[in-house]
Structure formats: C-alpha cells, structure tokens
Amino acid sequence: MRAIVQHHYGTSAQLRLDDVPDPVPGEGEVLVRVGAAGVDRGTWHAMTGLPLVARLGLGLRRPRDRTPGRDVAGTVEAVGPGVTGYAVGDAVYGTARGSFAELALVPTTRLARRPAALSVEEAAAVPVSGLTALQALRAARVGAGDRVLVIGASGGVGSFAVQLAVDLGAHVTAVCGPAKADLVRSLGAERVVDHTTTSLDGLGERFDAVLDIAGHRPVRLLRRLLTERGTLVVVGSEHRGRWLGGLQRSVGAALLSPFVRHRLVMLVATEDGADLAALTDVIERGGLRPAVERSFALSDAGAAVDHVAAGRARGKVVVVPDGTDHPTT
C-alpha cells in the first residue's frame, strides 16, 4: 500500500509518500480501507515531537508510529481474530495509529459505524476533535440553560463544542477571529466575539462553563469569567515552550482547583468507541455536522498539517488517498 512515512521528528518536509507492506489485523482489530483521514493539532505534535515531554508517549529519539494520522473513515477490508460486530464492507470511522495511508488498523474499542448522514470526508473529521469536545462539555457538566464560553470556536474542537453545547440547550458565546465569525455563527452560537477587537475582560458577562481551546491566557483571567461555582476546562494550551508547550498551565489549574470555589479541569481526552457512538447519535438526529473546510491529497499531507498548525483552518481539514475525488475550496 501507499502511506505517508516519517523516520524522524521534524517539519512537514520530511514526510514521504512511500510503498509499505499492507498491515495485518491482530486480535480485536479491523483493517480499514481509508476513504479519508482527519488532521488535528496532535498530528503536528507527533510529526515534530514537540513539546519534548510528548516524546514520552510518541517515542524518545524517533517516532514510534512511522505513519502519522489518527482520524480515519472508510470501509472494513478485513477483521482480526476475536472481532465481532463488524464485517468486511462495513462503513466505519474511528482512530488508528497511522491513518495517512491507504489501509489502517483500528482497534474495535476505538471504532464505530459511520453515520449515514455524512460523507466519508465529513466522518473522518469527527473522531479526535469530536470526542475532545464531547468530553470537555461533560467535564464542565454543561446542561440546558447554562451559559457557555468557547474560546477558539472556529477550529476543529471548537466547532464541535459550539454545536454540542447548543444541542444540550446551552447559550453559547464563541470567541474567534474575524475571518471565521460567519462560520461560527452558522454553528449556532448566540454571540460571536472577535478576539482581535474585544478583550475577554470586556464581555460584561459571567459563564457557567468556559472551554479554553486556543491560546495561553492566564488561569486567573479565565476564572474572572466564571460564575461563583462555574467550571473552567483547559482543553489545550498552544505555547512555544520547547519542553512543556504550555502543559504547565493545565497542570497548574488542576492543582489549584481543590483550593478555590471554581472547578478547574485539565482535560485529558480519550479515544473511546462508546463515546464515538454517542456522537453518531447526535449526528443522525441533526444536532451535529462537521465543518470541513477542504481536502488534501494524501501526497500533499504535509501541506494539510501545516495548514492546521498555522491556525488557518476553518473547522476541519482532511486528507484523501490519491486517486480518490478530493475537491478543494
């Protein structure tokens, strides 16, 4: 099969499309013929090996997974020993260890049936970002009538968080840049705030939950946006620090939480098939639809990663194996 391969950490320039052996599914795994693979910020971290603390899981000196990519949607090509509930030809989506390829192995614990309402490109955009958004809202205990602030609402996780919060009956204020305001408004946000012209201190409102997905704002500032018993969920913290990359802010918030009136949560999202099935339910009843900005050919996967890492994506970006239709907009 053809797959993107990286032999060391570095920029997108070191990614190569190459011929590699077809993977063989093991116990509890299915082999998926990739129709599309999603691109999330984590793909950049896996490519660069930054921050350095991430290498404890990715591989200390070189990447443990030589093919990048986790989000995947496609059809089952083969099933491994012990697999029940899936058969060859089933339309599925989930997370793989190396989805920038024509074939990918996916454990059934990280797999679900693909929503019939979505194209394969749309389905590939869901797993990592959708699961992160779902679990962040659960951590914040968001319910009907709650006032929710989503910072970084135009990216992958943010675009899902806005829709899922609206589906729960919450009143959503979304923060993004001016070029992406129309997209975020179309996702159901009641109020869209341009972070280039309006400071968070000037919002004049307090929120039951704040989801901080983008940037590296001080926790003390974010706490000022909460109601007396509100919850801050630190979803991510993109920072240039080479060693921790902003992780210290998330850890600091979690350590502070027992000593303050607010709940401060450091989110560690999990890739879970049951939660993916829960997202499928929301999708199939019309409460959620991925915002896919564009598709890239597999041979141009490096450009897709760079596009996301630069913060240019409006919603999600996917990679499609060469030879498959992949219109760009």
Residue by residue, pLDDT tens for the chain (329 residues) are 999 999 999 999 999 999 999 999 999 999 999 999 999 999 999 999 998 999 999 999 999 999 999 999 999 999 999 999 999 999 999 999 999 999 999 999 999 999 999 999 999 999 999 999 999 999 999 999 999 999 999 999 999 999 999 999 999 999 999 999 999 999 999 999 999 999 998 899 999 999 999 888 999 999 999 999 999 999 977 766 788 888 889 999 999 999 999 999 999 999 999 999 999 999 999 999 999 999 999 999 999 999 999 988 999 999 999 866 444 43
**Whole-angstrom Cα distance, residue 113 to residue 127?**
12
Cβ distance 209 to 110 under 8 Å? no
What tokens were used for 164?
Answer: 């899922």
**Complete DSSP assignment for 191-232:** EEEETTT--GGGG---EEEEEE-SS---HHHHHTTEEEEEEE
Please give the pLDDT value at position 236: 79
Contacts of 240 (CB under 8 A, 6+ apart): none
Please give the pLDDT value at position 326: 44
Domains within the chain, CATH numbers bracketed: 2-125+291-320 (3.90.180.10), 129-266 (3.40.50.720)
**Whole-angstrom Cα distance, residue 212 to residue 158?**
9
- CA-to-CA dists, residue 52 to 47, 56, 194, 302, angstroms: 12, 8, 32, 21
**Whole-angstrom Cα distance, residue 93 to residue 182?**
29
